[in-house]
Structure 1
Amino acid sequence: MSISASDADDYVTAGELRARYDTFVVDLLGSIAYGELSAFERLAADARHSPSLSDKAVLGKMAVSEFGHYEAMCARLEAMGMDPELAMAPYQRMVDAFHERTRPADWHESLMKAYVVETITEEFYAAIAEHLDAPTREAIAQVRTSDEQVERLTSMLKKMLAEDPRLSSRLALWGRRLVGEALSQVQHIGAKHSFLVGLRPDATHEQAAAEVTKILRTLTRNHSKRMSLLGLTA
């Protein structure tokens, strides 16, 4: 069967679009994978400074979950024929710098960081995953802190604030700093690797930026609601 010049052009265009989408997905999964590996390390370290064994167990369980999320992302990358380490490499410096900037001063700030950062990043990835192919969407759906763990974190923070009301102003300020850093990180990752541009054949960088802005507004509203649950101002 012969292929006309116009058919060949269409074929190449389709191949280019597929390659762009695949690159987008690898970038996305690589960023999630390294973020989850980093979260595992951080939560495991924070657990050592827990004031009680029950608190240690809560953060330890979260750390185990984060490692499971990391493994799920690696499995999806390998199923795509990609090397997870190579996919994660572009994000190592960026994620490490974020955690260095947001290093908690004590146990109270560690708990607030887990509460703020994990939920925001998971919501961001879930919002993007809505546009992806089913296997990738299902893999990203696994990167989620359980409702039980979120409720436990909320209860721990409420108890902490009730026992020492002086913490309220400091943790409210810390929460605002964390959400600002987290949203900046999301924007930075999106700009650096053109997230969302690969989701539609006709997508432009301007459209991608607009979509990210829309997602950021939703993340900010949800963060404000979570802070209100603690009696804190976002």
Structure 2
Amino acid sequence: MSIPSPGSDDAISAGELSARYDKFVVDLLGGIAYGELSAFEHLSSDARHSPTLQDRAVLGKMAVAEFGHFEMVCARLSAMGMDPELAMLPFQLIVDAFHARTRPADWHESLMKAYVVDAITEDFYARIAEHLDADTRAVIAQARTGEEQSALLVGLLQKMLAEDPRLSSRLALWGRRLVGEALTQVQRIGAKHSFLVGLRPDGTQEEAAAEVHAILTALTRGHSKRMSQLGLTA
């Protein structure tokens, strides 16, 4: 991070840079916390409609994990002297609107949504964490879904597609809609909250926009790869 010299007209104090970064971290953790809480709610609901008890157990386990992530991120916000609810509130309408627009029609679409949204969220966390301080990176790393749970979800999807190949075209289309909505949500959050400016506090809105574009490109690439592994067209 380069800070202009004190004599420069454009000089930014170290205190201002720190404040910008701190605000970014609070916004990021607030968004993550509400996303985890919302994921818990939707996975819990989806679990109730599972066709088998084993399927219900898998989604139930994921829901419990998401709530654990929510509590952990809230604890980090509290340790920073922030009220978790106040940190989450700016993201409530955006996240709720996303889920309203992507309400699954059945169990098959619920499972695909859980997979797509969870995987994109994972990629987003990993990409953002590259720029953060060690303590915040550690919190975000702990908020990521475990490989075992991800593998279970992939296994359910593969089994479902193998049993009914006719689902492929519908779920491929549903997956494209989900990723489109998810990427649009990232852009909306960026526009509304000047998201990612804090990654480079001495940078500009244009540089933040370029970073958002790079992140969206990486998320799209990762989604396409995962769909191909399922035998679906991204």
Instruction: Calculate the TM-score normalised by the size of structure 1.
Output: 0.94
Give the C-alpha shift of residue 125 in structure 1.
2.1
- Mapped contact 1:122–1:143 kept (Cα < 8 A): no
Partner amino acid for 2:109? Answer: E
C-alpha contact (below 8 Å) 2:125/2:144 kept by paired residues: no
5 Å matches for 1:78-227? 78-227=78-227
Q: What CA distance in whole angstroms lies between the structure 1 residues aligned with 2:12 and 2:131?
A: 23
- Greater RCO (CA < 8 Å, at least 6 residues apart): 2
- Structure 2 residue runs of 5 or longer lacking an equivalent are 1-5
User: In the aligned structure 2, how far is the partner of 1:230 from the partner of 1:129?
Assistant: 27
Aligned to 2:172, what secondary structure does the other structure show?
helix
How far is 1:126 from its partner? 2.0
Structure 2 residue 71 is the aligned partner of structure 1 residue 71: yes
Aligned to 1:35: 35
Q: How many residues align?
A: 228
Q: Hey, which bits of structure 1, 4+ residues long, moved more than 6 A?
A: 9-12
Q: What is the TM-score with the length of structure 2 in the denominator?
A: 0.94
Q: Deviations over 1:84-143 (max 9, x none)?
A: 000000111110000000000000000000110011012112211211111111001112
Q: Secondary structure at the match of 2:50?
A: coil
Runs of 5+ in structure 1 lacking a partner? 1-5
TM-superposed deviation, 1:197: 1.0
Distance in 2, Cα, partners of 1:160 & 1:125? 28
Deviation of 1:18 (Å): 1.0
> Structure 1 stretch 16-25 or stretch 169-178: which is displaced more?
16-25
1:19 pairs with 2:19: yes
Distance 1:221 1:10, change over 3 A: closer
Share of identical aligned residues, percent?
77
**Partners of 1:226 and 1:114 in 2: CA distance:** 13
